[in-house]
Chains A and B, each alone.
Chain A
Amino acid sequence: MDIPLIEFKNVTKRFGTKTVLQRVNLQIYEGQITTIIGLSGSGKSVMLKHIIGLIQPDEGAIYFRGKPIAEMKKTEIAAAFAQISYMFQGNALFDSLTVYDNIALPLRETTNLKKAEIDRRVMNRIEQTELSEAIYKYPSELSGGMQKRAALARALITDPQIVLFDEPTTGQDPVRKNAILGMIAQYQKKFNFTAILVSHEIPDVYFISNRVLALYDRQIVFQGTPEELENFDHPFMDEVISSLESLQKELTGLYSKRQFKVLNHVQLEHRRKPNKVSHVQIERRKSGESYCVVVFTLSDLDAIISNLGYDAAQEAIHSMGVYIDKNFGTIGGFSMRHKSNEIITVLPFSNLEEAENILKNFVNDFQEQGLRDIWTETQNQASADKCVDFVIRAGVAQGQPIDEIDSIIQSAKSRQTEIGRLHCAAGE
């Protein structure tokens, strides 16, 4: 692999007698979204502050593009840090400045741009982050979500090459959380910056992350892709991921990818020898127990984003998930969000014919009521009074225990047909 953009080698940090980071080793690569996950108070924010130079390590070294920062000249350090922007967990907005002035501050103080150019750039960011209503308000007059967006706009105003996000979605409702994550992912693609996130939003951050770093017991215990993390066998998974996933199910009604995999297998409980500690082992289903997978796709998510905003788009997919889960949950199905615009539902112990009948009944209800509900919820979050055409498609495939679920999902996707369409001209 290439030289890491940022690398920690045996970094140790202590505050008084408390060791927060102990011999931490990690690599962050250019152009990727890297997410650091871990429990609260485990030192994730301290790690980010090391990257931006707000905190110095007690031991070890931090490398920037292969060069130790401690050995760099002042001008080199200044040039390196000039590429980095930081979004604080508590936003750190200046409470005596308006939203406009907060966003304009870095441009006013660090560039020689003319007033008109600063105004153009700031207004552009304000529109992108849907803060037009709050432009002359002070941070204390804004909701938590708006403050987050103002902080995000300020972090991106200088078009940085590296952006550090410290808990960007803390204090947001599930819809806004996904809207902010979606916004980060979209900006990252658009401007190609390197994003480093600290987040608890599991599994939502997986959808946008290229790499995940797991901080546990003062050390990085995992570095890899979200898919690799699914198969990571470590106490971290039980203590951290499981607790966060339970919360996720409670909040959104949808299962995480890991829970989904667990549910899709038979759980056998074995007792260990004399200490009576139960141990759960996951095994594949027994042969002969066929199941079906339904894949739902909201085809026009980008059109909703561009016309109605991020919040509305996330509300559309969220309310679609809730509707699907409500209908299929009652007959033993379980659902999860697969991609930004896809929801997968597994119907256990069913064959293709049964599943198609269930889907047929669902489609009738969906066209009568579901589509209307989704559109109503979407409109409630819309930033503009517009109507957007969108199509929802669904496909079913049958699987056997020996099949990999991914191949069944692909098969279901290839069989997708239109199950609902919102047509603005016709009203529905």
Chain B
Amino acid sequence: MNEALQTVGIRPANEADLPAVIALDAEMTGIAKGTFWTDTFGRTSDRAGRHFLVAEEPKGGLVRGYIVGEVRAYEFGSEPCGWVVAIGVDPRFRVRRMGERLFEAMCDCLRADGVATVRTMVAREDRLDMAFFRAQGMMAGPFIELEKPLD
């Protein structure tokens, strides 16, 4: 078995994980978003259809990855479906299937919520995340994201 599969645990996030998640996200995006993550935790903890999971090393229990997902219903006529709204893995722990395990765990949560489809949104230029989600079997869905500058 892959080493990461044996040594990494996936579990629901708790408040004490927030500093590690904020630090990981800040390292990857260059922006520390403390309020965003505190709000996200508040919106997801103990709420049906909302999930915030972390991947941790048993030795030392350090958080090395996270994923946030939720069930959204009837937006623009869509049947209820799962959404992955954030995912991140410590760059030093990539290519060890940690992201894959987080994604699978989120799919299990969403499946248990009763939805049959999972969606996400990725920037076209974000090759890393785009390739990751494609490698999990995701393909273009029936909706297209549109936008317009308001300035």
- Are A and B part of the same complex? no
